[in-house]
Structure 1
Amino acid sequence: MRILYAILACVLVVCIVIATSVGPAGIGWNHTLSALLRAIPGVESLLAEHLAPVTPAQSGLILGVRLPRVILAALTGAGLSIAGAVMQGVFANSLAEPGVTGVSAGAAVGAVFVIVFGGVCLPPWFLTLTAFLGALAATVAVQLLAGIRGSHGATLLLVGIAINALLGAVVSATIANADSSDKAQGAMFWLNGDLSAASWRDVSVMVIPLIFGSLLLLFLSPELNLLTLGDAQATSTGVNTQLMRHLLLGLAALVTAAAVSVTGIISFVGLVVPHICRLLFGANHRRILPLSLLVGAIFLVLADLVARLLLHPVVLQTGTVTAFIGAPVLLYLVARRAR
């Protein structure tokens, strides 16, 4: 498996270089790679003779505009995929996904409120912060309400569905009462998920909670394997099933909240990617979680590239492309499961 991880990591790096190279202002991959290497301290002095020349304008476009968007896509795809893999394991349901615990709906409420009712004096980061806090609040509510009735995955799933429905109604009512069509359109644009305005500020906001949560989830993959065997089996090995289930879902929600608070709601990544990894490589979460992380990053980088290029000069939203790809795959998986 280590060889497979190394291959996927190399594929991810290649995809990042290609995605950073492509755009309306054509820049060769060699110039892109040169700009990326020059940005690493000490590399330029070592490889100066072998690096292609890069103008300040090219360097600014690559490092200041394209690279943050591509890095944000990779981080978001990785986070949503590993969160989806964890939720599918906890709920013992291969069709579970990150939004099922209300985290995406909570982020949507926070963001839509700021877009519709916020003033122009609010700083740009306030929307991201509000979406993140809304996502965490929804997660806490689901965990507390589920804890009242018990710790079973079915209880958490049902409470998450109810919270999603409630918050979805709040979002719809908020958009319907927007005092201008521009605000309503802005809210709908955010809800569809997009990376077009990505910046290094966005990356800095989400990178720490996303990486922290993902690393902890990788560390807890053996406990997740035990949970999938059943509560009795897990308890016999000394695992506190109630605490572990809430901890895993809380970390998965943290990762999801970090991603969607910046990008908006990008659907199907956390559903399709871990499901395919499970079909190809089995149900061992020691393998599924890192594979989902890498494949998810590759998938969203390529999906965002398609969003930029498919109907150029018209730019599709990244969430629209993932829905176009994910919906048919989901229908196929459901049909295959029914057979």
Structure 2
Amino acid sequence: MRLSASIVALALLSGLALGGVLSITTGPMALSMYQSLLVPFDHVFGWELAQLQDYQRAVIMEMRVPRTLLSILTGALLAQCGVVMQGLFRNPLADPGIIGVSSGAAVGAVFAITLAPVAWIEWSTPVGAFLAGLATTLVVYSLARTRNGTSVTILLLAGVALAAFAGAAIGLMSYFASDQDLRSLSLWQMGSLTSSSDIGRWLGLAALVMTAVQFQRRALALNAMLLGESEARHLGINVERLKLELILMTAVAVGVAVANTGVIGFVGLVVPHIVRMLTGPDHRLLLPLSAVCGALMLLLADTLARVLVPPAEIPVGIITALIGAPFFLGLLIKQRSLGRL
């Protein structure tokens, strides 16, 4: 059943606002919702309304608020990239990892964690993840280039091959890593929002603004791609240029996301399907609504990860996998029943 886009947008934005409140006010430390919500306003305007101790204010402003912002930015990035990959390849099973950027970024981060000096870790990890993810994407795209254009089949197979190579490289580095580095690697590969930094959040915001604007400009071209590549060419779309642009922008966005949070799967796969079922396949609506839905999904997953086993927390990548894997299997079953697999 299709719903009005305005109704879906209102529901998602309301859910995102409530999810943000829940994220800021939820945690192992018992603080009232009223006091927790006052602290950001106290911080900005210099008020003293919350009447909390300094360490309590620090928990909210240095831990909860930053990871809430990072959840929103990362979820929106991954969801939009999932929409683009599924539309570009006309494949409902595609996600941002299809072009190898996630696995490549993971290798870059692992090398930074294990080889870079401790004083450089804060900036070397995101930089290494971003550069390695972008390089992997360029390699995959170069391999898929043929005289007749870009081969989707080769692109997929090259992505799988490089993902396997990346897994082997990560395993090799893990074998030689120290106990402390090994724990950092394990937690990073499971996805976590605990290591949010100002630089990472600003990079995430810049990547989100850039990709949101550029993806939206190409929404009509993505709609044309749903008809097929030859039909899109007849409509005046430069298909090869569109592929290159969208793949590179996806590499940048996912590279920044993985650099900030580690590998968080299934957001880019699940969210576009949910929004598509609600509003239809028009990318002019699908892209912005998926960004809001992705932000909401990751925000709720992170909140759930913090409250399931207090005072410890489960890596958010595990929560998204527990949600996304059954959805993925259901999607496979549905596609098989429709004769599309």
How does 1:84-233 map onto structure 2 within 5 Å?
Answer: 84-148=82-146, 150-178=149-177, 180-233=178-231
Counterpart AA for 1:17: V
Does structure 1 retain, via aligned residues, the 8 Å contact 2:126–2:256? no
2:10 to 6, 10, 13: 6
**In percent, how many aligned pairs have the same letter?**
36
Please give the alpha-carbon distance, in whole angstroms, between the structure 2 residues aligned to 1:166 and 1:38. Answer: 50
Counterpart AA for 2:167: G
- Structure 2 unaligned residues grouped into runs of 5+: none
Does structure 2 retain, via aligned residues, the 8 Å contact 1:34–1:54? no
SS in 1 for 2:206: helix
Please give the alpha-carbon distance, in whole angstroms, between the structure 2 residues aligned to 1:207 and 1:77. Answer: 12
Does structure 1 retain, via aligned residues, the 8 Å contact 2:116–2:124? no
Please give the alpha-carbon distance, in whole angstroms, between the structure 1 residues aligned to 2:211 and 2:118. Answer: 33
1:55 aligns with 2:55: no
Q: CA deviation at 1:123?
A: 4.3
SS in 2 for 1:83: helix
Change (3 A) 1:228 1:39: farther
Does structure 1 retain, via aligned residues, the 8 Å contact 2:42–2:50? no
| Cα-Cα RMSD | 2.0
SS in 2 for 1:122: helix
**TM-score (norm: length of structure 2):** 0.90
- Structure 1 unaligned residues grouped into runs of 5+: none
2:34 maps to 30
Q: CA deviation at 1:163?
A: 2.0
1:303 maps to 301
Per-residue CA deviations over 1:264-316 (Å, capped at 9, x if unaligned) read 00011111111222233222111211121111100000000111111112211
Q: CA deviation at 1:3?
A: 4.1
Please give the alpha-carbon distance, in whole angstroms, between the structure 2 residues aligned to 1:116 and 1:9. Answer: 40
Q: CA deviation at 1:18?
A: 1.3
Please give the alpha-carbon distance, in whole angstroms, between the structure 1 residues aligned to 2:250 and 2:121. Answer: 28
Counterpart AA for 2:310: H
Q: Compare 199-208 and 253-262 and name the one that shifted more.
A: 199-208
Q: CA deviation at 1:40?
A: 4.8
Count matched residues: 331
Please give the alpha-carbon distance, in whole angstroms, between the structure 2 residues aligned to 1:311 and 1:8. Answer: 28
Counterpart AA for 1:53: A
Please give the alpha-carbon distance, in whole angstroms, between the structure 2 residues aligned to 1:36 and 1:155. Answer: 50
Does structure 1 retain, via aligned residues, the 8 Å contact 2:144–2:152? no
Please give the alpha-carbon distance, in whole angstroms, between the structure 2 residues aligned to 1:133 and 1:56. Answer: 42
Please give the alpha-carbon distance, in whole angstroms, between the structure 2 residues aligned to 1:245 and 1:218. Answer: 15
